[in-house]
Amino acid sequence: MTAPTGSTQSTPRLPFGRIFFGLRQAGVRVSPTEWMTLMEALASGAIEPDLNSFHAIGRSILIKHEAHFDTWDQVFTAVFGEGEMPVNITDELLDWLETPLERPRLTGEELAALEQLDLEELRKRFLERLEEQKERHDGGNRWIGTGGTSPFGHSGVHPGGIRVGGEGGGKTAAQVAAMRRFRDYRNDRVLDTRNLAVALRKLRRLNRVEGEPELDIEMTIDKTGKNAGELELAFQPPRKNQARVLLMMDVGGSMTPFSRLVETLFSAASSLNHWKKFENYFFHNCVYSRLFKSMTSGEVDSTAELLLDRPRDTFLIIIGDASMAPSELLSANGAIDWFERSETSGLVWLHRLRAHFSRCVWLNPMPREHWRGYTLEVIESLFPMFPLSIEGLEEAVEYLVKKGSPDPIPELDPRMLRV
Amino acid sequence: MSATWNGTASYIASPDLRRIVNASIALQKPLLIRGEPGTGKTLLAQSISEGLGMPLLTWHVKSTTKAREGLYVYDAVQRLYDSRFQDKDVSDIRQYIHFGPLGQAFRAPERVVLLIDEVDKADVEFPNDLLHELDAMNFTVTETGDLVEATKRPIVIISSNNEKELPDAFLRRVLFHYIEFPDEALMTEIVAVHYPQLDRELFASAMAVFYETRRAEGLRKRPSTSELVDWIAALLAAGIGPDGVKGEDGIPFVGTLVKRERDLAIVRDLHKPRRRW
C-alpha cells in the first residue's frame, strides 16, 4: 500500500476523528463512552479488518436510532468515499487515546465520563495487540497495520483496501453506505401515525387521582406493625394522566397540500386515548369568534366561551401555516369567509388564546426554512412555533411539559391592528 | 470469546446482524434490537440461544413492570401473613425472596442468553434503573445483604418497539441494531422455510399483493411477515390459485393481512379502479 492519497493528506484529521466529529457536527451526539467502546472493539479484534465489518459494528456502537443511520451512511461515505482506507490507523488511535481531552465541544458531563475511563489500560491493550501482530506477521486479520505494510493484507482485497465479494452480495460497505437505504428513517422527515403518537405520548401530567386503588406495601407494613402484627392493608389511588389537550387545525386553502399530514397528526392524537380530555376544532386561515367542531357539519363553538370554560392549564396546540393576507390577521371583519363577521381582528383572538392558555404551541407543517412572510412572523412572535415533523413535535411536547413557570405573554402592539 | 453465532436453520440473519451479534458477545455489551413488529426481534434471542447451545431466559416487560422485579421480589405481604398465623419461621427472610429473570440469569451456573422483551413498554425510567446491574452484572439483596453476582456474564438481548424513547444513558451502554423489514429476496427465503412446496406463481402474485398493501399510505398497522405467512396458509387451505389472489371482489381473506377496520377500508380502496374526473 502506498502513501495516503490527496484527500487524506489535505485534511489534518485522520478518518476516525473525522467520523467522530462528522457525526457530532451532523447532530448525532456520539458520546466519548461510545467512542471508547469502538476503540476497544477495534483494538480487541471484535471488528474484523474490513470496511463491511466496520460499517455494521461501528454503526451498532455509535448510532442508537435508525433515524440516524442515514447520517452514519453519509459521514461514512464522506470519510471512506473513494474506497480509501485509513492507512495509518495506529497513529490515529494512539493520537486519539493520548489527547482525547483536547477535543472540543464536549459537555462537562461527557468530560467527566471520559476521565473515568481507564485510558491507560485501553492503550496498553491496544499496544499489546499491535505487538502481537508484529510477531505474527500475518498482517491481515487485524485492523492494525504498521508502516509500509498493507493495512488490510487480506487475500481478495482490492487495491483500495476494501474486501470485495464474499458475504453481503458483493457490495462494499462504502457502496452500501452510498445507497443511503435509511434515508426514509430520518428524523427530520415527517412520519406516520404511530411515530406521531409516540411523540404525543410524552404529553402528560401525572397525578394521583381516583380510580382502582393500588396496594401500598410500605404503608401496609407500617400499619400492620402498629396493629401488633395483625395484617392491615393500605391502598393508594393510582397515577393517572391529567392532561387536557385542545387541538385547533387550519383547514384553509393554503393548507390543502398538508391535509394528509394534518390528518395523520389528528388521527394519532385522537387514537391515543391517553389524556383526560381531548378536543379538536377547525378554522379557516385564522381563529375568529367561532371555531368549527367538524369540517363538514358546520357546527360551531364560540371562541369566547372556550376561553371562559377551558382550564388554563389545558395544552393548546394550533396547527397552521400562519400564512394569509395581512388583512385576515389584522383587520376588523378581516375573515376570508363571507359568513364570518367579527369586529375583532384575528390577531386579537389569537392573543386572547395565547394569554388564556399557559401552555401553547403552534405547529407549522411547512419546513422551517420556508418560514417567511409577514403574518407568519407576527404569529411566530406570539406563539412558540415548531415544524410539524417528528423532531418538531418532540420539541413542542418537550416545551409544553417543561417544568417551571410558563413563558411571559408577548404584548400586543395596538398600532399593528387596522381598524 | 470463542462463541460465534451464525444464525440457525429456522432463523435467517443478514450478515450485518451476524456481525453485530458476535461483536456484542465479544464486547460483553447488551444488544438493543428495534424493528417493525413481526421482523423477528424475539426470535433472534431464541436463535442465539439455540445456535450457541445456551439456555434462554425471557423477561417479558409490561407497562407495570418495575426494574427491581427483574432482580428479585421480596414478598412482604406473604411474610406478614405468615407471621400472623405463625405456621412458618418468618425469621428466615430468604424464603420470601423470589428471583426475577435477571437474578436467575446471574445465578445460573452456566452462561445464558437473557432476553429483555419489549423494554419500552415499561415506565420511561425503567431502563435507567437497570444500568448498574447490566454494567456490573451484580446486585445486592437489600433485605438479606446477599450479593448476587454473575459468574458467567449472560448474553443480553433487549428488544424494543419504539413506543417510548429510551434514555441516553442507557443507549450509550448498548449496541444497537435496527431490523429492517425483509426485502423480497429475504422474504422469499423466509416463506420457503414455512412452505417449502409452495407454487411459484401463487407465491409471486401473493408477494406482489402483499408488498402493494404494505405500501398503501395511511395504514395504522402494516402487514408483517407473520400476517403474510398466515395469509398464504389461508390461500392454500382454500385452494386459491395464482389468479384468485387479486380477484374481482378484492383480496381473499384480506382480514388476515390487515386487522383494523380503517385499514381494511384503505386496502379495499387501493384495489378498486381509480376514479377519474
Chain segment A32-78, per-residue pLDDT in tens: 889 888 888 888 888 877 778 888 999 999 998 887 888 888 888 87
Shortest CB distance from B175 goes to which of A31, A60, A217? A60
Q: Touching check for A42 and chain B: CB below 8 Å?
A: no
Instruction: Please compute the mean of the pLDDT values over residues B155-181 and round it to a whole number.
Output: 85
pTM reported for the whole predicted model = 0.60
The pLDDT score that the predictor gives to residue B213 is 86
Q: How far is CA B184 from CA A339, B211, B251, in A?
A: 55, 9, 20
| Chain A: residue whose CA lies nearest to B2 | A46
Query: Distance from A316 to chain B by nearest Cα, in Å?
Result: 23
A56 touches chain B (CB under 8 A): yes
DSSP H or E run through A235: strand A235-236
In B, which residues are within 8 Å of A202 by CB distance? 165
**How does the average pLDDT of chain A come out, rounded?**
72
Q: Over the stretch B12-41, which tens digit does the pLDDT of each residue have?
A: 788 888 999 999 999 999 999 988 777 788
Q: What is the count of residue pairs from A and B with beta carbons less than 8 Å apart?
A: 88
> Is the CB of residue A69 less than 8 Å away from at least one CB of chain B?
yes
Q: Which of A57, A201, A230 sits opposite B19 (nearest CB)?
A: A57
Model confidence at A351, pLDDT cuts 50, 70, 90, reads very high
Q: CB distance from A239 to chain B under 8 Å?
A: no
A221 with B80: Cβ contact below 8 A: yes
Q: Which residues of B touch A (CB under 8 A)?
A: 15-16, 19-20, 22-24, 26-27, 29, 31-32, 34, 76-77, 80-81, 83-84, 162-166, 168, 171-178, 180, 217-218, 220
CATH of segment(s) A242-416 = 3.40.50
The answer to whether A19 and A42 have CB atoms below 8 angstroms apart is no
Q: Is A194 on the interface with B (CB under 8 A)?
A: yes
Euclidean distance between CA atoms A50 and A161, whole angstroms: 8
List pLDDT tens digits, range A82-110.
544 444 445 555 555 554 434 444 455 55
Boundaries of every domain in chain A: 6-185, 242-416
Q: B178 and A220: CB-CB below 8 Å?
A: no
> Cβ–Cβ of B172/A31 closer than 8 Å?
yes
Strands B146-149 and B138-141, sheet pairing: antiparallel
Whole-angstrom Cα distance, residue A391 to residue A372? 20
How far is B95 from B74, CA to CA, in rounded Å?
Answer: 9
Q: Strands A206-208 and A239-241, how do they pair?
A: antiparallel
- Residue A222's CB: how many other CB atoms inside 10 A? 13
Q: What is the pLDDT of residue A362?
A: 95
Higher-pLDDT residue of A10 and A203 is A203
Q: pLDDT-derived band of residue A189, with 50, 70 and 90 as boundaries?
A: very low
| pLDDT for residue B73 is more than 60 | yes
Amino acid type, B139: F
Q: Measured at the alpha carbon of residue B43, what is the angle toward residues B42 and B45, in degrees to the nearest 5?
A: 75
* B206 contacts B200 by C-beta, under 8 angstroms: no
Q: Which residues of A touch B27 (CB under 8 A)?
A: 37, 40-41, 44, 46
Q: Express each pLDDT in A217-265 by its tens digit.
A: 888 888 888 887 777 888 887 777 788 899 998 887 778 778 777 877 8
Q: Inspect the interface and report whether the beta carbons of B20 and A57 lie closer than 8 Å.
A: yes
Calculate the average pLDDT of chain B: 84
**Chain B touched by A175 (CB under 8 Å):** no
Choose from B4, B19, B157, B263 for mutation: most chain A CBs within 10 A: B19
Determine what percent of chain B is predicted with pLDDT higher than 90.
26
- Tell the residue number behind the cell numbers 472493539, with chain if given: A41
A115-128: average pLDDT: 56
Handedness of CA B69, B72, B76, B77 (dihedral sign): positive
CA-angle at B49, arms to B43 and B54, nearest 5°: 160
Contacts of A221 in chain B (CB under 8 A): 76, 80
